[in-house]
Amino acid sequence: MTLRVLGVDPGLTRCGYGVLDAGIGRSASLVDVGVVRSRHEDTLDIRLLEIARGLEAKLEEHAPDVVAIERVFAQNNTSTVMGTAQVSGVAVLLAAQRGIRVAIHTPSEVKAAVTGSGRADKKQIQTMLVKLLGLDAPPSPADAADALAIALTQIWRGPGPVRLDAGGKARTSAQAVWAEAERSARRARDTSSSRF
């Protein structure tokens, strides 16, 4: 079983998408990467419709197990934040309509997962993506690279069977193992306390 993740870097002019398949250990392979565009001169409803149609086409084409989206943070430019948040909502809705699990990652979480530093810049992220995914060149534009980084973060840090062992079987992530250990410990405590 291979986990497929669609990463989304929400944006109203350029919405980045990146599709990765989880591989053995911490490896991942590139399936698709690019951006869905809308025209700045169009009205908001038309722009959101264009982004929705583009993301919908990618969901249909690749049938991901998880859609990972970068969390929107407030910036100085309120109109940019609003557009980004609206596109994020579109991506969540499209995934929910198909019963696809949604994960949200903060920008610093993505930077730390890919580069080891939560303060990395876009060039550092692109350089690491080339190395980690065995690419010939950094994905372009930056929105596409960011979407791949978001997908890679989900593969490495998301819950559930996200990695394959040497035999090609899904291996449970560390988070899932930890959660199960906590549940077992809680059950053991509850059982022992109910005896008294």
Could you list the residues known to form a binding site for Mg(2+), using ranges: 9, 70, 143
Determine whether 143 is an active site residue.
yes
Q: Are 143 and 7 in contact (CB under 8 A)?
A: no
Active-site hit among 9, 21, 65, 146: 9
Residue 122: count of CB within 10 angstroms of its CB = 15
Strand partners, 194: none
Contact 101, 66 (CB under 8 A): yes
Specify binding-site residues.
9, 70, 143
Longest dimension (CA), the chain: 71
Hey, what are 54's tokens? 């583009």
- Catalytic residue check, 121: no
Q: Which of 21, 65, 143, 146 is catalytic?
A: 143
Q: Which residues contact 114 (CB under 8 A, 6 or more apart)?
A: 120, 125, 128, 129, 132, 149, 152, 153
Among 50, 61, 65, 70, which one carries the catalytic annotation? 70
Contact predicate 20/76, CB 8 Å: no
Q: Which residues are catalytic?
A: 9, 70, 143
